[in-house]
Amino acid sequence: MSEFQNIGLIGRTESDSAVLSLKRLMAFLEREDYAIVLEEETATAVPGHSARVSPKEKLGELCDLVIVVGGDGSLLAAARALAKFSVPLLGINRGRLGFLTDITPDKIEQKVGEVLAGKYMAESRFLLDMSVTREGKPIGSGSALNDVVLHSSEIRMVEFDLYIDGQFVYTQRSDGLVISTPTGSTAYALSGGGPIMHPKLDAIVLVPLNPHTLSSRPIVVEGSSEFKIVIGEYNIASPHVTCDGHDQIATEPGDTIRIHKKPHRMTLIHPIEHNFYETCRSKLGWTS
């Protein structure tokens, strides 16, 4: 018997192709007698179903495995919601790049069947927690699997002070700063000139966005590091901070942003033949 019996499904409902793949996946799971739990918004895209329906945040309590049909953004959202439950996630790619959702739509039955039969690889990924305080009072928070990004809301540079583990690093003027996990190193951090980091690394990279000084370069530090960013008192712009491009919070001069590793990790499931470097070759256009 499979270790996965109760299967949660999350689909990208605004994508017709994702909905088609979702229906194909449901038909396969039903034929194989698995119990299906549909995320409540996903359920609206498959009228007439007989599956159990649950809010996204409850899937972690009800399921042994959650399958996400969509792009990397869909899986990022699932990871943020479900990390505290330690339920493993499996992705079927109906987006563009597919660094995290690596089962192709034409191989749903084959690859999902192999995973359910115990033929898979499991990777543990860490997330980041972020909070913003103003005059000592919390004004917002969020979590990220890819990155926390401080960025200007206008065509103006942002000035801020950076501290790592309580030690002052620098005062910087730039378009912002990306604080990225290894998972996010192939996302926004990469476009800013950051390094590609293997997912197994316990490290965090800080990538300045268009810094005022050419000597400002990405910094890689321990994954256990704690970061404090203090927004400069004389900023004209009101910079924003986001988590995986979501949970946008507008900051003001003097606000403090704190970032550290989340205590809960996310387990990402891959087909048995998954190879990180092959994924880089195919997704980033490296020569083979």
Which residues are the active-site residues? 72
Is 188 flagged in the annotation as binding?
Answer: yes
The 3-state DSSP class for residue 143 equals: strand
Q: Which two tokens stand for residue 85?
A: 């439950």
Q: Which two tokens stand for residue 214?
A: 């050419």
Is 9 flagged in the annotation as binding?
Answer: no
Is 147 flagged in the annotation as binding?
Answer: yes
d(CA 229, CA 168): 10
d(CA 105, CA 10): 15
The 3-state DSSP class for residue 47 equals: coil
* Cβ–Cβ under 8 Å, residues 100 and 283: no
Q: Which two tokens stand for residue 233?
A: 């008192």
d(CA 61, CA 110): 27
Is 96 flagged in the annotation as binding?
Answer: no
Is 6 flagged in the annotation as binding?
Answer: no
Is 186 flagged in the annotation as binding?
Answer: yes
Is 210 flagged in the annotation as binding?
Answer: no
Is 73 flagged in the annotation as binding?
Answer: yes
Q: Which two tokens stand for residue 93?
A: 């790619």
Is 161 flagged in the annotation as binding?
Answer: no
Is 191 flagged in the annotation as binding?
Answer: yes
CA angle 246, 247, 250 (to 5 degrees): 115
Is 193 flagged in the annotation as binding?
Answer: no
Is 189 flagged in the annotation as binding?
Answer: yes
Q: Which two tokens stand for residue 66?
A: 């959650």
How many H helices and E strands in the chain? 7, 17
Q: Give the residue among 227, 73, 215, 207 at the shortest CA–CA distance from 146.
A: 73
Rounded to the nearest angstrom, the gap between the alpha carbon of residue 50 and the centroid of all alpha carbons in its chain is: 30
Binding residues for NAD(+): 72-73, 146-147, 173, 175, 186-191
Binding residues: 72-73, 146-147, 173, 175, 186-191
